[in-house]
């Protein structure tokens, strides 16, 4: 009689363990493949050669520039004021038209002087009597019919009466308001019959020819400015026109708050085009011509921490580097750029002077700066070049 085999007991723990191992192997393989593919892709992009950047360049060159000083100023009348009155009164006559040119001494306004004239006549009569008595008492004093003290008293009374007459005449003269200097009148500020008190503005008066131009310069430029030097001024209200003037005064002190000093120039203004209070731009050439290294302004990256340029240099040709494309691209050795900090100076037209950090003949990038980095490969296309024209006039395209 054969023995029957006993049935195997299920082993759920073993099945669970095997299942977990299979799941771990599957997911681990997936994650490993994903990790390796991502790493390979990153390595590919990190080491992928960048295509050459197309730029324009300019060879730094030495030029002879005069040292310009630029400033902004304000036109000021040589003589300018609001005509006022020293004595109060009612306006009886207006003898001018707003905006008309006048000469010094021209009557502008007359105030009512009826009361002052009456007082003047009474003072003149009293003074006449006092003079007669003074002369009579002098004659009596010579014959010793009156005392010396009485003679002096009468002389004093006569002098006082005459002084009162002169004071009254001066008061009447103050009520006739005249132009204090040659100039052009402004807008009338009083009306006929209006009472004006002392100091009330009546009309503005400005002397326009010549005219002053006041402006400020930094204290570092004080040794460069001399009286008698000529300057050019332009006014926004008169585009295309330039006015020549001469420095006539330099403030001897420097403002402690701004570290600037004031300069005053005098400009001829026979046509009255320049008006007091107008804004003006000043250009002053000082120090003679100087040799400077210049490059286009577009080549400079202006930053708060310093200005920089990209200097182009030639590197040995790399057989594996991509070749430049395009008809206008230059063929030859591999060209790369590196950033260099420079110190800049004055500008003229499209060019700017570099005072430190660059030598004549060094080539700098003038466009495409945002796409550049150190050791980037570049190609050059120089079809448009900047100019040093002081008044450039670009064409509309």
SS3 of 207-263: the string is CCCCEEEEEEEEHHHHHHCCCCCEEEEEECCCCCCCEEEEEEEECCCCCCCCCEEEE
pLDDT for 265 equals 94
Q: Do the two domains 53-67+290-380 and 71-78+208-283 of this chain adopt the same fold? A: no
Superfamily designation of domain 71-78+208-283: Efflux pump adaptor protein, beta barrel domain (2.40.30.170)
Cα angle vertex 204, ends 198, 208, to 5°? Answer: 140
The pLDDT, as a whole number, for residue 332 is 56
Q: What is the C-alpha to C-alpha distance for residues 150 and 142, in angstroms, rounded to an integer?
A: 12
* Calpha distance 152→136 (Å, rounded): 12
* pTM as predicted: 0.56
Q: Which helix (H) or strand (E) holds 159?
A: helix 148-174
Q: Give residue 248's pLDDT.
A: 93
For residue 252, give the nearest of 235, 264, 243 by alpha carbon: 264
Q: What is the pLDDT of residue 249?
A: 93
What gap in Å lies between CA 362 and CA 57, rounded to an integer?
A: 10
In a structure prediction context, what are the per-residue pLDDT tens digits for the chain, which is 397 residues long? 455 555 666 667 777 877 888 888 887 888 888 888 878 777 766 666 667 888 888 999 998 887 677 889 999 999 988 999 888 889 999 988 998 999 998 999 989 888 878 887 888 788 888 788 777 767 777 777 767 787 777 788 878 888 888 888 888 888 888 999 999 999 999 999 899 999 889 999 999 989 999 999 988 888 888 888 888 899 988 888 889 999 999 999 999 999 999 999 999 998 888 999 999 999 887 766 778 899 999 999 988 888 999 999 987 655 555 554 544 444 557 888 999 999 988 788 788 989 888 999 999 999 888 888 888 888 888 775 566 566 666 666 5
| Cα→Cα distances 294→70, 285, 311, 360, Å | 19, 18, 14, 8
Q: Say which residues have a Cβ less than 8 Å from residue 267's Cβ, sequence separation at least 6.
A: 75, 210, 211, 212, 213, 233, 243, 244, 245, 274
Contact 329, 372 (CB under 8 A): no
C-alpha to C-alpha distance for 98 and 108, rounded to whole angstroms: 10
CATH class of the domain at 113-174: mainly alpha
pLDDT for res 103: 92
Enter the CATH code of domain 53-67+290-380: 2.40.420.20
Which CATH architecture fits 86-110+176-206? Beta Barrel (2.40)
Q: Where are the domains of the chain?
A: 53-67+290-380, 71-78+208-283, 86-110+176-206, 113-174
Q: How far is CA 102 from the centre of its chain?
A: 34
3-state secondary structure of 91: strand
Burial degree of 173 (CB within 10 A; 0-12, 13-18, 19+): middle
Q: Are strands 53-55 and 376-380 parallel, antiparallel or unpaired?
A: parallel
């Amino acid at each position: 009689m054969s023995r029957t085999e006993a049935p195997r007991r299920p082993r759920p723990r073993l099945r669970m363990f095997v299942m977990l191992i299979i799941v771990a192997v599957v997911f681990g393989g997936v994650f490993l493949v994903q990790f390796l593919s991502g790493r390979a892709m990153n390595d590919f992009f990190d080491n992928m050669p960048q295509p050459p950047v197309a730029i324009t360049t300019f060879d730094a060159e030495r030029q002879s520039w005069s040292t310009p000083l630029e400033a902004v100023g304000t036109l000021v009348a040589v003589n300018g004021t609001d005509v006022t009155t020293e004595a109060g009164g009612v306006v009886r006559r207006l003898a001018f038209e707003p905006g008309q040119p006048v000469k010094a001494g021209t009557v502008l306004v007359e105030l009512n002087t009826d009361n002052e004239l009456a007082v003047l006549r009474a003072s003149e009569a009293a003074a006449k009597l006092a003079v007669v008595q003074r002369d009579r008492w002098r004659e009596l004093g010579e014959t010793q019919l009156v005392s010396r003290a009485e003679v002096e008293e009468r002389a004093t009374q006569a002098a006082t009466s005459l002084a009162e007459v002169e004071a009254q005449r001066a008061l009447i003269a103050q009520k006739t308001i005249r132009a204090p200097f040659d100039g052009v009148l402004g807008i009338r500020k009083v009306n006929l019959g209006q009472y004006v008190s002392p100091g009330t503005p009546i009309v503005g008066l400005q002397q326009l020819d010549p005219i002053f131009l006041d402006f400020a310069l930094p204290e570092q430029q004080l040794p460069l400015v001399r009286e008698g030097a000529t300057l050019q001024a332009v006014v926004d209200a008169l585009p295309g026109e330039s006015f020549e003037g001469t420095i006539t005064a330099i403030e001897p002190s420097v403002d402690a708050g701004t570290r600037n000093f004031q300069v005053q120039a005098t400009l001829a203004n026979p046509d009255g085009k320049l008006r007091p209070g107008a804004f003006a731009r000043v250009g002053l050439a000082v120090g003679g011509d100087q040799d400077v290294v210049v490059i286009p302004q577009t080549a400079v990256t202006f930053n708060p921490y310093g200005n920089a340029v990209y200097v182009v240099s030639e590197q040995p040709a790399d057989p594996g580097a991509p070749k430049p494309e395009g008809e206008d691209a230059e063929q030859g050795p591999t060209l790369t750029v590196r950033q260099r900090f420079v110190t800049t100076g004055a500008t003229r037209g499209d060019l700017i002077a570099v005072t430190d950090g660059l030598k004549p003949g060094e080539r700098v990038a003038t466009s495409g700066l945002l796409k550049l980095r150190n050791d980037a490969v570049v190609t050059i296309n120089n079809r448009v070049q900047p100019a040093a024209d002081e008044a450039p006039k670009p064409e509309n395209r």
